[in-house]
């Protein structure tokens, strides 16, 4: 999808000597500044403003130091004919996908799993049992896992080098999010908010550069409304186009809020009403076109939104990253209470409470009491490092062991999350949970969903909250600037972000409770006949169909597990 210097950025691109070749997916937002630095070093550019050519000269001048200089989203492959090596690199948060497979006779890499499996050596690649188990534990594949044995996902913020002579493969991290609070909690919050406001303005301005039409995804929530406010300020000469989805179920619908923000800022707003019943028949095709299983059912409305927006624009700004960086999710509100509960509640009493909660009437509504309470209580059976992974999990460890007929521990299923938890420099609970949501839920879940859904529609999405400078500022903030309140009255999320935009947006938008971009999945699946001909490797299909029947008759809420199974069945 060509967006910047469309005529000059054709790929693959070689340098003038024919020694360096690059293929590249993504955008480098600071490419103009890097170009000036390289020109000062004597580099001569042949294109007008192609960010691809910046990668060639940057590699020749800075070598492996190039990657830390890039502010953008990218999956890059560079072939160095002189050194006889291939280098793969992926952006800091993994906005763009990159898969690889070392093989006896070849080294295969691509941006999509289906493309990987067209190679002769990978056509018969078998499913990975451990990866599938982890998928049911997370709702996504934690890097470097993929559904297939021998095919890997290059982790975000990593580079991989292949020696074409010895065929040795070396993978290393060039950047890791390190949450190290450096500002005192007592520091003036308004001064910090002003600094954040300036960083947001710069981050969004960088992402407005485009040689094709650009718009904004607008849910009417804090993150998307913030983006629109700054983007409209940067482009006062023409109205930005904004896009949202509407639902007939009011517990999911946010279209009224998006219209309110659009009117406040002054955008040309478009709303598409999502007819979920009519879209049921498209789900198998959608899931198969994704190319890889996704446990997030909101990929359906996201893909519909992307297709709708693509009728008007080629690039759209997205609020991805705001919830993860600023502690915007509901679990952040209850962490301190969960810690106290876990400390003082005896295990037998906890078991009794969990049993009582399991008998609550089941509801199909978004984030209903029974859904939230049962998930919260099941997570508290484990150590704090596993609370959030288990809260998000489609299935509990013992359920996974039963379905796969293999004993597996929570420690095995969540090994990546546990290792990351132990590596966080800050020891505070909130900071460690922030790291989990950013490193795993965002990178391997949210960003995968957004990229695949938008790319299917030939729409490029950009996430200003993931700007290098902005992230570096936010990671050094104490958690008290993100959560405001106390254990008695409760906590308000995204506190510093709300302070930064308090003069830009209506109070009703800034302080309204987050809904999330979901869909009425529980009710939807109840009225959908189980696909009895579908199967997933290693899983007892009859047991899964029993779960579906229990869900359909209202005796069980298995919405997440059933969607995961559907998603896997269309790919494997």
pLDDT digits (tens, 9 = 90+) for 85-135: 999 999 999 999 999 999 888 899 999 999 999 998 898 899 999 999 999
- Segment 384-413 shows an average pLDDT of 94
Please check whether residue 218 is in contact with residue 311, taking contact to mean a CB–CB distance below 8 angstroms.
no
User: CA-to-CA distance for 366 and 372, rounded, in angstroms?
Assistant: 10
Highest CATH level, class, for 13-173: alpha beta
- Asked if the bond preceding 144 is cis, omega within 30° of 0, the reply is yes
Where along the chain do the CATH 3.60.20.10 domains lie? Answer: 13-173
Write the CA distances from 249 to 304, 368, 419, integer angstroms: 17, 13, 40
What's residue 360's pLDDT? 64
- With 60 as the cut, is the pLDDT of residue 188 above it? yes
- With 60 as the cut, is the pLDDT of residue 2 above it? no
Can you give the pTM of this predicted structure? 0.93
> Which H/E stretch holds residue 68?
helix 66-69
Q: How confident is the model at residue 388 (pLDDT cuts 50, 70, 90)?
A: very high
**Angle (nearest 5°) at CA 142 between 27 and 398:** 155
- Segment 216-229 shows an average pLDDT of 95
What's residue 518's pLDDT? 67
- With 70 as the cut, is the pLDDT of residue 7 above it? no
User: CA-to-CA distance for 140 and 448, rounded, in angstroms?
Assistant: 9
- CB-based contacts of 351: which residues, under 8 Å, 6+ apart? none
Q: How confident is the model at residue 516 (pLDDT cuts 50, 70, 90)?
A: low
- Output the average pLDDT for the chain: 90
- With 90 as the cut, is the pLDDT of residue 553 above it? no
Q: Please write the tens of the pLDDT for every residue from 223-261.
A: 999 999 999 999 887 789 999 988 776 767 788 899 999
- With 60 as the cut, is the pLDDT of residue 194 above it? yes
What's residue 267's pLDDT? 94
User: CA-to-CA distance for 332 and 435, rounded, in angstroms?
Assistant: 12
In this predicted model, which residue has the larger pLDDT, 535 or 81? 81
Q: How confident is the model at residue 378 (pLDDT cuts 50, 70, 90)?
A: confident
Q: Please write the tens of the pLDDT for every residue from 265-303.
A: 999 999 988 777 777 778 888 998 999 999 999 999 999
Q: Give the pair of three-digit tokens for residue 45.
A: 């550019």
Q: How confident is the model at residue 528 (pLDDT cuts 50, 70, 90)?
A: confident
Q: Please write the tens of the pLDDT for every residue from 43-82.
A: 999 988 889 999 999 999 999 999 999 999 999 999 999 9
**Angle (nearest 5°) at CA 163 between 159 and 168:** 85
Percent of the chain predicted with pLDDT > 90:
66
Where along the chain do the CATH 3.40.50.620 domains lie? Answer: 189-327+432-510
Residue found by looking up tokens 């876990």 in the block: 342
- With 70 as the cut, is the pLDDT of residue 387 above it? yes
- With 80 as the cut, is the pLDDT of residue 361 above it? no
- Segment 356-380 shows an average pLDDT of 69
Write the CA distances from 86 to 23, 76, 164, 554, integer angstroms: 11, 10, 7, 54
3-state helix, strand, coil in the chain (%, to 5): 45, 15, 40
What's residue 364's pLDDT? 60
What's residue 572's pLDDT? 83
- With 90 as the cut, is the pLDDT of residue 489 above it? no
What's residue 367's pLDDT? 58
Q: Which of 31-45, 184-198, 362-376, 389-403 has the lowest mean pLDDT?
A: 362-376
What's residue 340's pLDDT? 86
- Segment 187-215 shows an average pLDDT of 93
Please check whether residue 309 is in contact with residue 244, taking contact to mean a CB–CB distance below 8 angstroms.
no
CATH code of the domain occupying 189-327+432-510 = 3.40.50.620
Kind of pairing, strands 214-217 and 169-173? Answer: unpaired
In this predicted model, which residue has the larger pLDDT, 26 or 5? 26
What's residue 237's pLDDT? 75
Q: How confident is the model at residue 370 (pLDDT cuts 50, 70, 90)?
A: low
User: CA-to-CA distance for 112 and 221, rounded, in angstroms?
Assistant: 31
- CB-based contacts of 249: which residues, under 8 Å, 6+ apart? 365, 366, 520
């Amino acid at each position: 999808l060509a967006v910047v210097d469309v005529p000059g950025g054709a790929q693959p691109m070689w340098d003038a000597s024919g020694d360096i070749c690059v293929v590249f997916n993504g955008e480098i937002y600071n490419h103009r500044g890097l170009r000036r630095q390289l020109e000062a070093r004597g580099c001569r550019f042949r294109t007008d403003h192609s960010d691809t050519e910046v990668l060639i000269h940057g590699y020749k001048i800075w070598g492996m130091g190039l990657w830390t200089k890039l502010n953008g989203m990218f999956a890059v492959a560079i072939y160095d004919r002189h050194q006889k090596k291939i280098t793969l690199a992926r952006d800091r948060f993994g906005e763009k996908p990159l898969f690889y497979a070392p093989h006896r006779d070849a080294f295969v890499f691509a941006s999509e799993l289906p493309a990987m499996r067209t190679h002769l050596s990978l056509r018969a690649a078998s499913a990975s049992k451990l990866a599938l188990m982890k998928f049911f534990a997370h709702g996504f594949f934690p890097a470097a896992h993929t559904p297939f044995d021998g095919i890997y996902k290059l982790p975000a913020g990593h580079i991989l080098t292949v020696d074409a002579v010895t065929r040795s493969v070396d993978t290393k991290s060039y950047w890791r999010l390190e949450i190290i609070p450096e500002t005192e909690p007592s520091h003036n919050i308004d001064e910090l908010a002003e600094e954040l406001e300036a960083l947001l303005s710069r981050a969004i301005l960088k992402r407005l550069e485009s040689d094709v039409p650009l718009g904004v995804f607008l849910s009417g929530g804090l993150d998307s409304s913030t983006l629109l406010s700054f983007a409209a300020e940067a482009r006062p000469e023409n109205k930005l186009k904004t896009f949202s989805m509407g639902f007939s179920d009011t517990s999911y619908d946010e279209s009224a809020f998006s219209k309110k923000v659009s009117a406040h800022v002054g955008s040309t707003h478009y709303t598409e009403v999502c007819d979920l019943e009519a879209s049921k028949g498209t789900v198998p095709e959608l899931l198969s076109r994704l190319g890889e299983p996704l446990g997030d059912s909101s990929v359906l409305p996201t893909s519909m939104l992307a297709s709708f927006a693509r009728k008007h624009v080629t690039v759209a700004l997205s609020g991805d990253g705001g919830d993860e960086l600023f502690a915007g999710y509901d679990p952040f509100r209850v962490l301190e209470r969960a810690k106290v509960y876990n400390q003082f509640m005896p295990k037998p009493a906890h078991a009794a409470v969990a049993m009582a909660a399991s008998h609550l009437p089941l509801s199909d509504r978004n984030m209903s009491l029974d859904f939230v309470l049962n998930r919260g209580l099941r997570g508290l059976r484990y150590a704090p490092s596993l609370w959030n992974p288990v809260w998000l999990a489609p299935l509990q460890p013992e359920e996974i062991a039963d379905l796969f007929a293999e004993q597996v521990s929570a420690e095995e299923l969540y090994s990546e999350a546990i290792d990351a938890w132990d590596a966080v420099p800050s020891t505070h609970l909130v900071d460690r949970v922030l790291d989990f949501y950013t490193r795993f839920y965002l990178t391997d879940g949210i960003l995968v969903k957004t990229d695949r859904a938008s790319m299917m529609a030939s729409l490029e999405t950009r996430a200003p909250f993931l700007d290098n400078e902005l992230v570096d500022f936010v990671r050094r903030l104490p958690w008290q600037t993100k959560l405001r309140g106390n254990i008695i009255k409760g906590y308000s999320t995204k506190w510093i972000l709300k302070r930064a935009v308090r003069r830009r947006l209506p109070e009703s938008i800034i302080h309204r409770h987050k809904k999330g971009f979901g869909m009425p999945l529980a009710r939807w699946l109840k009225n959908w006949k189980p696909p009895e001909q579908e199967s997933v490797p290693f899983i007892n299909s009859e047991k899964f169909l029993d779960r579906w029947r229990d869900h359909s008759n209202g005796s069980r809420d298995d919405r997440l597990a059933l969607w995961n199974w559907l998603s896997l069945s269309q790919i494997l």
